[in-house]
Structure 1
Amino acid sequence: MAAQEAIEVTRAERVASWRGTRLEGLLWAALSIAIFSGWFVVTRFSVTRELQVWDVTALRFGVGAVLLAPAVLRRGSRLPMSAWGEGLLFALLWGAPFVLLVALGLKLTSAAQAASIAPTTMPLVAGILSFVFLKEQQGWIRWTGYAAILAGLVCLTGAVTTQAPPSPAGVTALAAAGGMWAVYTLLFRRSGLSSIQAAALICIWSAALFLPAYVLFGLSHLGRASASEIALQLFYQGVLMGAVALVTFNRAVSLLGASAATAMIALVPAAASLLAIPALGETPSFVEGIAIAVIVVGVLLAASRPSSATLSIQPQETP
C-alpha cells in the first residue's frame, strides 16, 4: 500500500514538473513567434526596395555574432572542438543558407505566402522525421494536429495567392528552408549545447563563412538605403533575429521537445496575418480566417501532452 502511494506521489510530482516546464516552454515559444511573425514583413520590406538578400544576411549574422560571441569565447566558457563542428552543422542548417533561402522566397513571392509556407512546413517535417528516425510516438492527437496544420496551410496559401500564382522557385526555396529548420531542431534537441551556445555558434560560423564573400564580391547595397531603413534592419535582423530569436527558439525546443516547439511555430502565419491588420491595413478574408483557425487548432493538438511514458524526460539545460 505504501509502495503504491509512493508511486502515485512520484507520478503526481512528475506531472506537476512537466506542467511547469511546459508553461515556461510555451512562453519562450510565444516570444519566438512574435519575432518571427514580424520578420517576414520587415525582410520583405527591404528585399523589394534598396537592400538585397545579401545585406539582410550580413546584418543578421554580423550583429548576432558580435552580441553572442562572449557566450562561447570568453574565459571559462571555451567549447571543445567537437562542439564547434556541431555548431558548423547547425549554421549550415539554420544559419546563412536558411536566411538566404527565406529571403529569396520573400523576394519571389510575398510576405503572406512566405509566412504561410516555411513556418508550417517545418513542424510537419519535424514530426515525420521524429517518427521515422527517432521512433518518437506522436499519437493520434498529434497526427490529427499535423493534418489540421497541413489543411490550414493549403487553404491559407490558396487564399493569399488568388490574385497571382506563386513562384515555383520561391515556394521551393521556402519549403527547403522549412525542411532545414526541422532537421536543425531535431539535432539541437539531442546535442549537448545550451540555447545561447548554439545560437552563438550559428552566428559566428555564418558570419565567418558569409561576410568575407559579401565584402570580397562587393555585394553590399547599404549605401543605397536610408539611415532609418538600415537602423530598422540592424535592430530587427541583427538583434531580434540574429540573437534574441535564436536563443528563445532553442530554449523552447529544450523545454517542449522538437515536435511541440516546432508545432508552435506554425502559429506564425496566423500571427503575421493579425499583425498585418494594424501595420498594413490588410484584413484577412473569410477563407483566410477559417484557415488561420484551423492552423491554431492543429497547433494546439500537435503541441499536446505526450504519453505518460515520456514524462520522465527532463530538459537538457537549466534555466
Structure 2
Amino acid sequence: MASVDRSAVAAADPAPARRGPARTRVVGFAWAALTVMIFSGWFVVTRFGVTRELRIWDIAALRFGVGALLLAPAVLRRGARLPAAAWGEGLIFSVLWGVPFVLLVALGLKLTSAAQAASVAPTLMPVFAGVFAWGFLRERQGKTRWLGYAAIVAGLGCLVHAGATAQGAPSAWGILALAAAAAMWAIYTLLFRRSGLTPIQSAALICVWSSALYLPLYLFLGLSRLRLASAGEIALQVVYQGVLMSGVALITYNRAVSLLGSSAATAIIALVPAVASMLAIPILGETPSLAEGISIVVIVLGVLLASRPTPARRESILSQT
C-alpha cells in the first residue's frame, strides 16, 4: 500500500523523480571530471618518466606496487574476504587495465608524444565501448550517441593530422599500441559495470593481482633502473602512478561508470585531449594551433552527444528513484 501511495505522489508531483536522476548525473559527472584531470596529467608525467632514466617497466612497477600497498587492505583485511569469483574477475580486470594496459600506453608514449598519446587512447576508448556494447551486449545506443562517436573520431583524425603537420607523422606502432590499450580499457569498463564489485574493490584487485604477477618478473629479470633516477623523479612517479592513478583515478572512474553507465562515463574521458591541451598552455607554454583548437572543439561536441543517456538508461535511473 505504501508503494501505491508513493507512486500516486510521484504521479501528482514528478519534480522529485526528475531531481533524482538529475542529481545522480551531476554527481557522476563530478567523478568523471576528477578522473579526466588526473588522466590528463598522467600522460605528461609518464612521458616525462620514460624519456629520462626510468623505463616503462619501472613505471608499471611503481604504479601497481605502491597501489597494492595502499589498497590491499580493502580486499585482504579481516572481514573483507571476497568470494573466489570476485578474485577471478579481478584477475581479468588486471589483464585489461593492469600491467598490459600500462605497458601499451607507455610504449605508445615512447614512440609518439604526450599530446598524440593523450589524443588517441582516451578518445578511442568511448568509441570502442559504444561499439562493443552495441555489438556484443545488444545495448541500443541511439542516433545521438552514434553521431557523437562519429564526431569524436572525426575530431581525433583532424587532431592527429594537425599534430603531424607540425611535428611529423606519428609512429604507426605507437598508434597501434594506444588503440589496443583503448580497446582493453573499453572492455574493462563494460565488464566492471556488470561485476557487482565496488569501485575500491576493483581498484584493489587490479593492483594486488598486477603486483603479484608482475613484480617477481620485474625483480628476477633485473629490469629496474630506479637507482639511476633522482629522488625527485622517483617521488613524482610514486605519487602520480601509485597514489593518483592506481588509487584515486581507478576509484573515481569506477564510480563514474556506476552512476552514468559505461557509455556516458567513457565518453567523458574523451575530453582528456582538450584538458591536456589547456593545461599545456600555462605549464608548458604550448599553445594549440587553430586546426588543433577546432579539432578539440569537435571532440568536445562529440562528447556532449555521446554522453547523453539513452532512453533505456533514463528509464533505469527513474526506476531506482
> Per the shorter chain, which TM-score range?
over 0.9
Deviation at 1:315, TM superposition (A): 11
Query: Structure 1, residues 157-177: CA drift from partner, whole Å, max 9, x if none?
Result: 111122311111111100000
Q: What letter corresponds to residue 273 of structure 1 in structure 2? A: S
Residue in structure 1 matching 2:91, options 88, 93, 96: 88
The list of structure 1 runs, each at least 4 consecutive aligned residues, that deviate by more than 6 angstroms after superposition, is: none
2:262 pairs with 1:258: yes
Structure 1 residues 97-106 or 155-164, which shifts more?
155-164
Structure 2: where are the runs of 5+ without partners? none
Please state if 1:283 is matched with 2:287: yes
1:104-253 alignment, distance < 5 Å: 104-162=107-165, 163-253=167-257
Q: Distance in 1 between matches of 2:12 and 2:136?
A: 34
User: Is residue 2:40 matched to residue 1:37?
Assistant: yes
Question: In the alignment, residue 153 of structure 2 is paired with which amino acid?
Answer: L
Q: Could you tell me which amino acid in structure 2 is paired with residue 303 of structure 1?
A: S
Q: CA deviation at 1:310?
A: 4.0
TM-superposed CA distance for 1:218, in Å, is: 0.5
1:174-231 CA deviation, whole Å, 9 max, x = no partner?
A: 0000000000000000111000000000000011111001100010011111111111
**1:305 Cα shift?**
3.0
User: For residue 170 of structure 2, what is the amino acid of its counterpart?
Assistant: P
Q: How far apart in 2 are the matches of 1:309 and 1:215?
A: 46
Of 151-160 and 87-96, the range deviating more from structure 2: 151-160
Deviation at 1:282, TM superposition (A): 0.3
Is 1:75–2:78 an aligned residue pair? Answer: yes
1:21 aligns with 2:33: no
Give the distance between the partners of 1:5 and 1:220, measured in 2 at CA.
65
Q: 1:308 to 1:11 in 2, by over 3 A?
A: farther
Gaps of 5+ in 1: none
Cα distance in 1 for residues equivalent to 2:132 and 2:79: 36
Number of aligned residue pairs:
315
Q: CA, structure 1 residues 185+309, in 2 after alignment: closer, same or farther (shift >3 Å)?
A: closer
> Which deviates more, 3-12 or 165-174?
3-12
Amino acid at match of 2:97: W
Q: Match of 2:275?
A: 271
1:166 partner SS? coil
- Paired with 2:218 and 2:118, the residues of 1 have a C-alpha distance of 27
**Alpha-carbon distance in structure 1 between the residues aligned to 2:292 and 2:114:** 14
Residue 5 of structure 1: how far off its partner (Å) = 5.7
Q: Report if the CA contact (8 A) 1:101-1:174 is conserved.
A: yes
